[in-house]
Amino acid sequence: MSNINNYGVDMNKKTLTELSFSAVKELNDEVAGTCSGGRVNIYEGINFQGRGITFSRGDGNLVNNNFNNVTSSIIITGNERWRFYKNANFRGPFITLGPGRYRTLARGVNNSISSLRRLS
Ligand SMILES: [Ca+2]
Ligand SMILES: [Ca+2]
């Protein structure tokens, strides 16, 4: 599997044709259009409704963004996995999610995420 983030880092060594082909091959148009090294979008409502916020690395305390314990849906672009924690400072129970669109979150995760970080 190629790694979009690595392509970003190594972009100067590769041709634009190679980059475009890899991105389009592995991601749908919507995701590819917003992908530039991996992002997560979290939303306060299910089905990506309500307020949303985007991170490229993570956040150790979602209180800072007025987003504590409200996340109900998630979109992950790029090739990285992300880890979402029940407590601030990357503590407590967590779930790990790969690229994709998560319209709802499991009971116990929904409205409980307080910090998140990109893995690798
Ligand atoms: Ca919510
Ligand atoms: Ca929490």
> What is the strand order of the sheet 115-118 is part of?
58-59, 115-118, 82-87, 91-97
| pLDDT attached to residue 56 | 96
Which ligand has the nearest atom to the CA of 69?
A: 2
| pLDDT attached to residue 120 | 77
- List CB contacts of 101: < 8 A, sequence separation 6 or more: 48, 74, 75, 76
Q: How far is the CA of 116 from the centre of ligand 2 (A)?
A: 11
Q: How far is the CA of 36 from the centre of ligand 2 (A)?
A: 29
Question: The domain containing residue 62 runs over which residues?
Answer: 4-118
CATH number at residue 104: 2.60.20.10
Structural tokens at position 93: 């129970």
| pLDDT attached to residue 12 | 47
Q: How far is the CA of 46 from the centre of ligand 1 (A)?
A: 7
| pLDDT attached to residue 91 | 98
Q: CA torsion sign, 10 to 97 to 82 to 39?
A: positive
Number of folded domains in the chain? 1
| pLDDT attached to residue 37 | 75
Per-residue pLDDT of the chain (120 residues), as tens digits, is 444 444 444 444 444 444 444 344 344 444 444 445 799 999 999 999 999 999 999 999 999 999 999 999 999 999 999 999 999 999 999 999 999 999 999 999 999 999 999 997
**pTM summary value:** 0.70
Distance CA 66, CA 30 (A): 27
The residue whose two tokens read 């990506």 is 48
